[in-house]
Structure 1
């Protein structure tokens, strides 16, 4: 799942990006409302975390513009505005959720997991396919009950494939799940990660659909 974080408090944004990446999300960050509107029009983000107190335009105006353009990307407001009226206004304008600062990161992560389940990108906290189990809460992959050590990219790749079991994922789709804006991506990066991941999974678990992409069976 790819998240767009719109937050002008850079220390907070850095901390949130670290926490979200540790959960296996790809996270892009912007500090400008106008840039956020343009980014959302591209359709690359699966969900958005939106601060309201942005330097160039109010976050509610960002939300209004996005919804007026019929962009349905789920948006979670993250703000210090804590009155009931503020919450009602945000939800009425089109927010999917509203979290007040200061907040517990674990609560934010739980709310994002709820959004993921609504989107169908995280159908359950545990996905079992034959002898392989993905525990998205514990960030673990188990083969026949034994935990397998994965790099961050390998975990994200396993998650992307297993959440979409039965559906072919192209190299471009997988790159979008694994890499963020500005990251240099080698032309064979996905193939290299697939190669290493295959060594840690049962033989034949990941299937190559030549010229199209990769898949795992349901």
Structure 2
């Protein structure tokens, strides 16, 4: 599941926008000040941070600076009522991915989130390809350094799902629904068995178990 850090000190904006994001199945962590944001960043591997600039204690710009020094892979959207050019340039000079001026439409913010996450996923897939793993959708084959991994159909579909959204944690139920026909009876143990067999054929530990949730493509190995 995509994890989003949302730094916003106005309760109504924070709660309403968070509900919109949760409707898209994002896991949202709400904080009201920059100190709380930095403490969470130290503990949680976020995919995206949405940062209001004018917040108590530590500003959103200072949080952005911390992210770029310590979590450079994290995408960022700056959110503020300040629409002046100087503030926007400062955010972009710190390599913020986007800048949204209040008041804003939650629906348009969701579209900006989708666009940024698509870029992040595309970049991750390029990194995976550079490391030697490739997926050929038309032939249902997977290769490592141009050598076939000799996967079964189920193993291929598992790898295909995980590798195309490497930031996402897939529950076993989602994997079952995507791989198997509705008439085919299966359960969590079946998925676990296929994952075990797939791992044996992969050259590295590319499949990460997320305890209590499911599986994710392991970008650390890629």
Contact 1:8 1:54 in 2 (8 A): yes
- Structure 2 spans left out of the alignment, 5+ residues: 125-136, 139-156, 197-208, 216-222
Specify which of 178, 184, 187 is matched with residue 203 of structure 1: 184
3-state SS in 1 of match to 2:4 = strand
Aligned to 2:28: 27
The alignment's TM-score, normalised by the length of structure 1, stands at 0.61
Instruction: Label 1:2 to 1:202 Cα distance change in 2 as closer, same or farther (>3 A).
Output: farther
Could you list the runs of 4 or more consecutive aligned residues of structure 1 that deviate by over 3 angstroms after TM superposition?
161-164, 166-169, 193-202, 204-207, 211-215
1:95 has 2:96 as partner: yes
3-state SS in 1 of match to 2:161 = coil
Higher helix share: 2
The alignment's TM-score, normalised by the length of structure 2, stands at 0.60
Deviations 1:63-122 (A, max 9, x none): 11221235330010011010111111111123111000001122111110111101218x
Deviations 1:106-164 (A, max 9, x none): 2111110111101218x9xxxxx99xxxxxxxxxxxxxxxxxxxxxxxxxxxxxx9996
Structure with higher Rg: it is 2
Number of residues of Structure 1 aligned to a counterpart in Structure 2: 162
**Aligned-residue CA RMSD (Å):** 3.8
Q: Which has the higher contact order (CA 8 A, sep 6+)?
A: 1
Aligned to 1:165: 161
- Structure 1 spans left out of the alignment, 5+ residues: 124-128, 131-160, 175-189
